[in-house]
Amino acid sequence: MAGAKNRRQGAATASSELKGQDNEAMQGANGNEKVRTTDTAAADESQENIFLLWPNIIGYSRIVLAVASLYYMPLHPRTCSLLYTVSCLLDALDGYAARYFEQSTRFGAVLDMVTDRCTTACLLVFLSSAFPRWAILFQGLISLDLASHYIHMYATLAMAGSESSHKNVDASRSRILSLYYTNKTVLFVACALNEAFFIALYLLSFSSPLLSPSLLQTVPEPAAEALHQGAQVNSSLLKLIFANPHSAGALELARANKMDSFWPWVLAGVSFPVMALKQIINVVQLVKACKWLAEGDLKARKAMGLPRKRKTA
């Protein structure tokens, strides 16, 4: 009886041990399945490369076109204008692609803004050299454009949080900025005609009615007369006149009288009012962003108990 009882207890113990081993095996299998599921999810997430999303690829194309336009900018106005214009028009396409493919990203927004600021600044730098009398104006426009957008974006991040977009401007803070950023038609027209005005000025630099007399002092009279009448200037002639054919004077000589100025003047006249409005918006954006940051500073200083009242003797 005792032996049978011991055998039954031993069998029960062995059975419980086997069940425990089975449970451990099942738990291990389930654990491995969870690990594999987690690894699969992580692998799926890692497959999406933010840098290769369609809006960002369009952004890279804009940069390539802008660099190509800069290469042709000194002496090839038509090619440069075409490349620069296509680069600017793609600015609207990348936003559409971001909405269509649901691929809006912070990196894409920053890439878009930086590309806009840099391409405009490069064009204005060229205009400063093409129209030296107005260089300080172009330098001021570069500074205003960069400062207003940088401070506006910084104020948005600091005051509204990192999840907020710089384009989400409440009408109570600024009606003109709210209309500018929330209405896609207004934004596109303002940016397009702003760039069109500077492109028109660029084209006008290739339609000078006369050359500076100092550039023609070493040119024989027949050659000077031909140049004034619009004769093409090739690289061999530039080498004869200038020690460096890429100097400022040589480039001015090569650019002169290459284009009819009628259509550039028309484009400049049509786009000038919008360009002026765009600069006013930049000023408003700069002032509003500075005031917004100052409001945040006041709240932070009050929270710290500043300014402290000093004891008077």
Eight-class DSSP state of 247 = S
Tell me whether residue 63 is exposed, middle or buried, using C-beta atoms within 10 angstroms of its C-beta: 0 to 12, 13 to 18, 19 or more. Answer: middle
In this model, does residue 216 exceed pLDDT 50?
A: no
- Give the percent of the chain with pLDDT over 70: 73
- Give the percent of the chain with pLDDT over 90: 59
In this model, does residue 273 exceed pLDDT 90?
A: yes
In this model, does residue 237 exceed pLDDT 70?
A: no
* Distance in Å from the first CA to the final CA of the chain: 104
Q: Which long-range contacts (CB under 8 A, 24 or more apart) does 7-13 make?
A: none
Per-residue pLDDT at 156: 94
Per-residue pLDDT at 296: 95
In this model, does residue 262 exceed pLDDT 50?
A: yes
For 102-132, how does the pLDDT look when each residue is reduced to its tens digit (9 = 90+)?
999 999 999 999 999 999 999 999 999 989 8
In this model, does residue 43 exceed pLDDT 60?
A: no
Per-residue pLDDT at 19: 52
In this model, does residue 51 exceed pLDDT 80?
A: yes
Q: Given 116, 145, 170, 260, which residue is catalytic?
A: 116
3-state SS, residue 57: helix
Per-residue pLDDT at 1: 47
Assessment of whether the complete model's pTM goes beyond 0.85: no
The mean pLDDT value for 239-252 works out to: 72
Give the C-alpha separation, 229 to 224, whole Å: 9
Token duo for residue 263:
């259509």
Amino acid sitting at position 91: D
User: Is 116 known to be catalytic?
Assistant: yes
CATH code: domain 50-207+260-303 is 1.20.120
In this model, does residue 144 exceed pLDDT 80?
A: yes
The mean pLDDT value for 91-97 works out to: 92
Per-residue pLDDT at 10: 52
Token duo for residue 167:
């384009």
> In whole angstroms, how large is the CA radius of gyration of the chain?
33
The mean pLDDT value for 282-286 works out to: 97
Per-residue pLDDT at 263: 94
Contact 258, 207 (CB under 8 A): yes
Highest-confidence range of 3-7, 84-88, 249-253, by mean pLDDT?
84-88
In this model, does residue 9 exceed pLDDT 80?
A: no
The mean pLDDT value for 31-45 works out to: 52
In the chain, domain spans: 50-207+260-303, 213-255
Per-residue pLDDT at 282: 98
3-state helix, strand, coil in the chain (%, to 5): 80, 0, 20
In this model, does residue 215 exceed pLDDT 50?
A: no
Give the C-alpha separation, 86 to 3, whole Å: 96
